[in-house]
């Protein structure tokens, strides 16, 4: 019998790496490199090197131990032939001759993943390979001393997340600035507001952009406020091994965090999964905020609406079958991430809820891919949103044309509010005029406007002098002038401009100024 499972499915060769072929929202080399297996391996090695240096600084291992481990880590990471997007530079580099070339293959992510099935996590085979690579002496004895696998893997994921969050935050900040510019530029640009997919009232595109800004700025602040704590609890969260070594565990963990570029933790969090859940919430918020923008752009860039357009770039939005099409590809990718992120965030919450004892079996393991996928989705969304916001094309003429499709009935709320007191029959009289205009809807907006004016003239009282609640309008000319104003949708934007101003002021105070600082 032929063993089909033993050979590749195609002639292209077998490559187990996930490079984002079916998830193009994060398929850029930058995002994939910062969150790929090589980046995780590099982070775990960085944590091990920093730990050896911490032990040496505390006098718990012999002099030279930290330097010995660090040299091997630099050589291994520097020698890895990966497309990691700069992970080697993050950890440092050294001549690969520090260790035997064949030793570096022991840290190949594929080998570690396969070996991880034996102990349930990749730290166990990584530590074994690191001990074998460090020359016999004080360095080898310092490797992983006093730690447990969860200490290293949790901390490595936090380190990976911190590094990825730098890019996410920068892209969100740039996108927010671009949205703030759009809101200011189009502060009073007339646009119809749509509720439940229908025209509702006149508004402005500036207000829409300002509302997008609120979501993106909120996500940006959520990412900026994240903590990335080191995990240091030992085998059961008591740090018994460190106490046995004569160390003060909390001080040791704080020094480890400082060396590795993480935050000190109040206490071990191996059974309290708050830091992971917080990270998941912030990353999901990034995808949601970006998704809000993308959803609106997808709708408003439809040819029959035509109010917005994505940036034009070579190769962007092309169709394989229809050369005339300009697909909103950026928005589609962002929306795909927004649809997927909640499931991964929910997975982190579910894992936390089902955490049992001092280390959970299975629930902890499900966090790893969910967290990494959220990092990738958020990073890809933020990068795409930055490009979308910076290059968004706005078509005010189409906005005005669409605003007028509903005719004068778009301002019927205002007519009712302002004319019912001076109309025969009050509200019922105004409603009769509106109903007459509705009946003429098939004839188009112009005919609706003519009918509505005629009916309003018939029910609104005329009186002497200026309009008041009892006398009505002084003349037919006064009423016509008032109807010109009342039936202009651009003059019924409520406090849209004021809301835009307040959002921009709040953004300037809590967002842009903080970034500059």
Residue 10, domain member (yes or no): no
Kindly write down the DSSP assignment for every residue of 294-331, as one continuous string: HHHHHHHTSTTT-SEEPPP-TTTT--SS-TT----HHH
Enclosing H/E stretch for 200: strand 198-204
Residue 331, domain member (yes or no): yes
Do 231 and 364 lie in a common domain? Answer: yes
Do 376 and 296 lie in a common domain? Answer: yes
- Which is it for strands 308-309 and 393-394: parallel, antiparallel or unpaired? antiparallel
Q: Per residue in 470-505, pLDDT tens?
A: 445 667 788 888 888 888 888 899 999 999 999 999
Single out the residue in 105, 122, 145 at which a domain terminates: 145
Single out the residue in 116, 145, 174 at which a domain terminates: 145
Do 141 and 158 lie in a common domain? Answer: no
- CATH number at 78 reads 1.10.275.10
Residue 236, domain member (yes or no): yes
Question: What single DSSP character describes residue 487?
Answer: T
Work out how many domains the chain is built from and give that number: 3
pLDDT band at 73 (very low <50, low <70, confident <90, very high): very high
Per-residue pLDDT for 7 more than 50? no
Q: Per residue in 39-52, pLDDT tens?
A: 999 999 999 999 99
pLDDT at 449: 86
Residue 6, domain member (yes or no): no
Q: Per residue in 381-410, pLDDT tens?
A: 999 999 999 999 999 999 999 998 887 788
Single out the residue in 100, 124, 145 at which a domain terminates: 145
Do 322 and 198 lie in a common domain? Answer: yes
Residue 93, domain member (yes or no): yes
Among 469, 464, 503, which residue's Cα sits nearest to residue 182?
A: 503
Do 340 and 213 lie in a common domain? Answer: yes
Kindly write down the DSSP assignment for every residue of 263-274, as one continuous string: B--SS--SS--H
Contact criterion met (CB below 8 Å) for 204 and 500: yes
pLDDT at 470: 43
Kindly write down the DSSP assignment for every residue of 34-81, as one continuous string: HHSHHHHHHHHHHHHHHHHHHHHHTTSS-TTHHHHHHHHHHHHHHH--
Per-residue pLDDT for 349 more than 50? yes
CA distance 387 to 393: 12
CA distance 428 to 426: 5
Contact criterion met (CB below 8 Å) for 301 and 327: no
Active-site residues, by number, are 319, 359
**Paired residues of 202 in beta bridges:** 192
Q: Which residues of 439-460 are buried (b: 16+ CB within 10 A; e: fewer)?
A: ebeeeebeebbebbbebbeebb
Per-residue pLDDT for 441 more than 90? no
**Paired residues of 460 in beta bridges:** 423
Do 340 and 264 lie in a common domain? Answer: yes
Rounded average pLDDT over 235-259: 96
Residue 15, domain member (yes or no): no
pLDDT at 18: 78
- CATH number at 221 reads 1.20.200.10
Rounded average pLDDT over 177-204: 95
Do 166 and 299 lie in a common domain? Answer: yes
Q: Per residue in 416-425, pLDDT tens?
A: 998 988 888 8
Distances (CA, A) of 308 to 156, 217, 338: 42, 22, 20
Do 119 and 203 lie in a common domain? Answer: no
pLDDT at 81: 41
Contact criterion met (CB below 8 Å) for 329 and 337: no
Do 295 and 164 lie in a common domain? Answer: yes
CB atoms within 10 A of CB 325: 11
Do 115 and 58 lie in a common domain? Answer: yes
Per-residue pLDDT for 83 more than 50? no
Distances (CA, A) of 100 to 105, 128, 132, 399, 412: 10, 16, 11, 67, 81
Contact criterion met (CB below 8 Å) for 74 and 53: no
Do 66 and 214 lie in a common domain? Answer: no
Enclosing H/E stretch for 149: helix 149-185
Residue 80, domain member (yes or no): yes
pLDDT band at 170 (very low <50, low <70, confident <90, very high): very high
Using DSSP's 3-state secondary structure scheme, residue 194 falls into strand
Encoded tokens for 446? 């112009």
What share of the chain in percent tops pLDDT 70? 86
Domain around 379: 150-394+505-516
Residue 494, domain member (yes or no): no
Average pLDDT, the chain: 87
pLDDT at 478: 80
Encoded tokens for 187? 């502060």
Do 362 and 451 lie in a common domain? Answer: no
């Amino acid at each position: 019998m032929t063993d089909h499972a033993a050979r590749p499915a195609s002639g292209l060769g077998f490559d187990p790496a996930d490079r984002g072929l079916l998830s193009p929202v994060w398929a850029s080399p930058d995002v994939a490199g910062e969150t790929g297996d090589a980046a995780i391996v590099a982070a775990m090695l960085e944590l091990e090197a920093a730990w050896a240096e911490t032990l040496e600084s505390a006098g718990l291992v012999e002099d030279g131990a930290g330097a010995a481990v660090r040299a091997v880590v630099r050589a291994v990471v520097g020698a890895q032939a990966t497309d990691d997007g700069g992970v080697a530079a993050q950890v440092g580099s050294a001549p690969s001759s520090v260790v035997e070339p064949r030793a570096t293959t022991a840290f190949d992510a594929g080998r570690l993943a396969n070996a991880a099935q034996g102990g349930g996590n990749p730290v166990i085979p990584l530590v074994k390979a690191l001990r074998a690579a460090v020359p016999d002496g004080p360095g080898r004895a310092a490797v992983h001393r006093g730690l447990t696998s969860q200490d290293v893997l949790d901390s490595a994921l936090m380190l990976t997340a911190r590094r990825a969050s730098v890019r996410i935050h920068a892209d969100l900040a740039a996108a927010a600035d671009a949205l703030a510019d759009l809101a200011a530029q189009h502060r009073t640009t007339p646009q119809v507001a749509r509720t439940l997919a229908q025209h509702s009232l006149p508004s402005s595109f500036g207000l829409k952009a300002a509302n997008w800004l609120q979501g993106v700025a909120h996500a940006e602040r959520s990412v900026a406020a994240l903590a990335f704590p080191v995990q240091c609890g030992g085998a059961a969260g008591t740090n018994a091994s460190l106490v046995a070594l004569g160390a003060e565990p909390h001080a040791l963990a704080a020094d480890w965090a400082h060396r590795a570029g993480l935050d000190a933790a109040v206490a071990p969090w191996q059974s309290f999964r708050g830091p992971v859940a917080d990270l998941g919430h912030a990353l999901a918020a990034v995808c949601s905020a970006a998704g809000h923008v993308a959803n609106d752009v997808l709708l408003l860039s439809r040819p029959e609406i035509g109010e917005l357009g994505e940036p034009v770039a070579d190769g962007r939005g092309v169709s394989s079958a229809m050369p005339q099409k300009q697909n909103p590809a950026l928005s589609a990718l962002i929306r795909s991430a927004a649809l997927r992120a909640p499931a991964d965030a929910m997975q982190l919450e579910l894992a936390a809820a089902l955490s049992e004892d001092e280390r959970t079996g299975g629930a902890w393991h499900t966090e790893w891919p969910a967290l990494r996928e959220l990092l990738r989705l958020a990073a890809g969304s933020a990068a795409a949103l930055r490009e979308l916001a910076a290059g968004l094309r706005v078509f005010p003429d189409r906005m005005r044309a669409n605003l007028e499709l509903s005719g004068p009935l778009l301002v019927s709320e205002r007519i009712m509010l302002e004319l019912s007191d001076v109309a025969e029959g009050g509200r019922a009289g105004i409603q009769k005029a509106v109903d007459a205009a509705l009946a003429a809807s098939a004839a188009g907006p112009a005919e609706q406007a003519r009918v509505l004016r005629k009916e309003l003239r018939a029910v609104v009282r005329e009186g002497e002098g200026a309009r008041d609640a009892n006398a009505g309008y002084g003349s037919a000319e006064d009423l016509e002038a008032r109807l010109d104003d009342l039936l202009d949708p651009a003059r019924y934007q409520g406090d849209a401009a004021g809301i835009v101003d307040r959002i921009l002021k709040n953004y300037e105070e809590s967002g842009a100024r903080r970034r500059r600082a």
